[in-house]
């Protein structure tokens, strides 16, 4: 990880409250570092459980990437059709104060996640200069 990366390890007690838990930890992160995190890392099992409960309790609040540019009425129609077809997978979390990019990190145990602030993150699939990669982490996005 780069020199300016801030990090906090967190735990999800109950996946039913996954969104409240993430937000509470993001606020603690802000209290500690005076900046909100911009990346959340977790293992596949944790992401699977978060997706499950997000789809179970808040399917209408999960945005599809292909909904960009649609009017609200069109989004509702598309959302209702897609709800029955498949489980939606989250790729991020946003509030008025911050947004998190969801990333896979298999070394993180089930029910744990890591909140990070990286001022210059590099994600897999993005171009980067191999000669200047000392101490740089490449984050693996969920989607």
pLDDT at 25: 97
Contact 138, 128 (CB under 8 A): yes
Tens of pLDDT, residue by residue over 52-105, are 877 776 655 555 444 444 444 544 554 444 444 565 666 677 889 999 999 999
Model pLDDT, residue 47? 84
Q: Which of 126, 112, 128, 96 is nearest to 10 (CA)?
A: 112
Which of 84-93, 104-113, 124-133 bottoms out in mean pLDDT, i.e. has the lowest?
84-93
pLDDT band at 124 (very low <50, low <70, confident <90, very high): confident
The helix (H) or strand (E) run that includes residue 54 is helix 44-57
Comparing CA positions, the residue from 22, 94, 97, 80 lying closest to residue 53 is 22
Q: Which pLDDT does position 100 carry in this prediction? A: 93
Residue 127 clears pLDDT 90, i.e. is over it: no
Specify the pLDDT at position 86.
62
Q: Which two tokens stand for residue 29?
A: 């992160």
Out of 1-10, 39-48, 76-85, 125-134, least confident range:
76-85
pLDDT in tens, 5-33: 999 999 999 988 888 999 999 999 999 99
Largest Cα–Cα separation, the chain: 49
């Amino acid at each position: 990880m780069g020199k300016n990366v801030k990090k906090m390890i967190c735990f999800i007690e109950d996946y039913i409250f996954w969104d409240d838990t993430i937000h509470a930890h993001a606020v603690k992160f802000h209290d500690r570092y005076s900046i909100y995190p911009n990346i959340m890392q977790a293992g596949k099992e944790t992401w699977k459980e978060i997706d499950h409960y997000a789809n179970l309790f808040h399917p209408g609040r999960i945005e599809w990437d292909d909904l960009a540019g649609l009017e609200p009425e069109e989004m509702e129609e598309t959302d209702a059709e897609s709800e029955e077809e498949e489980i939606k997978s989250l790729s991020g979390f946003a509030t008025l104060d911050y947004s998190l990019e969801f990333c896979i990190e298999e070394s993180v145990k089930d029910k744990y996640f890591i909140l990070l602030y990286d001022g210059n993150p590099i994600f897999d699939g993005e171009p980067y200069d191999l000669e200047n990669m000392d101490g740089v982490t490449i984050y693996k996005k969920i989607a």
